[in-house]
Structure 1
Amino acid sequence: MSDPHDPNDHATRLKALEDRIATAKGGEVKKPRSEEHYSQANMAWRMVIELVAGLGIGFGIGYGLDVLFGTMPIFMVLFILLGFAAGIKTMMRSAAEMQNEQLVKQADKSEGD
């Protein structure tokens, strides 16, 4: 008889039980969660981070130049606006990349049908 404390025995018994449950349910196979939702959320976070990074870098450069030259708000405001514009441009590039990937997937899907 097997040792009741053997972890391998528990694992095999658990697997056998899962197989019997799947058979009783009609052989339904668990579908993996759709990764599309997570992919879109990741793209949204990527865009937000790109915008914030542009603003942060613009602020840092502008503030540094203002401290260096002694002209407090001029360069900071200018570079924050430039950083915002760069962040928007990068976000638009990411959106175009995402749209191109979707078009490729749709084209592949329509070719398969």
Structure 2
Amino acid sequence: MAALEARIAAAKAAKAPQRKHQEEHYSQAHLAWRMVIELVAGLGIGFGIGFGLDALLGTRPWALVLFTLLGFVAGVKTMIRSANEIQETKLAEQAGENEGTRDGD
């Protein structure tokens, strides 16, 4: 029974790096979708505000164009903020790993 448990533990250990890679890939896809959604949300909100103002004021298409562009800028700005946040998180993780390897020496 102990030999079987040892073989199972060895098999799990062999698959562990692959699972970490899959989790990392999923995490990257999640972050990419987050950025796409932020951009589309900015465009959609700007479009909606512009369309509404055009309907109220009768200034078609000026408010629509203006607010769609402002929504695009806001979406890009949000994407850049998210990318910086992700980068800072990754750098902090790497610094923690590097410090952990120094302590082990």
Give me the TM-score of the superposition, normalised by structure 1.
Answer: 0.76
The C-alpha deviation readout for 1:22-77, integer Å capped at 9, x for no partner, is: 62x78322426121111111010000000000000000000000000011100000
Instruction: List, as ranges, runs of 4+ consecutive aligned residues in structure 1 with deviation greater than 4 Å.
Output: none
Residue-pair matches, total: 95
| 1:62 aligns to 2:50 (yes or no) | yes
Residue from 73, 81, 100 that aligns with 1:93:
81
Partner residue of 1:46? Answer: 34
The C-alpha deviation readout for 1:58-106, integer Å capped at 9, x for no partner, is: 0000000000001110000000000000000000000000000110011
Distance of aligned partners of 1:40 and 1:26 in 2 relative to their CA distance in 1, 3 Å threshold: closer
RMSD across aligned C-alpha pairs, in angstroms? Answer: 2.1
Equivalent-residue separation in structure 2 for 1:43 and 1:51 (angstroms): 13
Residue from 5, 24, 27 that aligns with 2:10:
27
Amino-acid identity (%): 61
- Structure 1: where are the runs of 5+ without partners? 1-15
- Structure 2: where are the runs of 5+ without partners? none
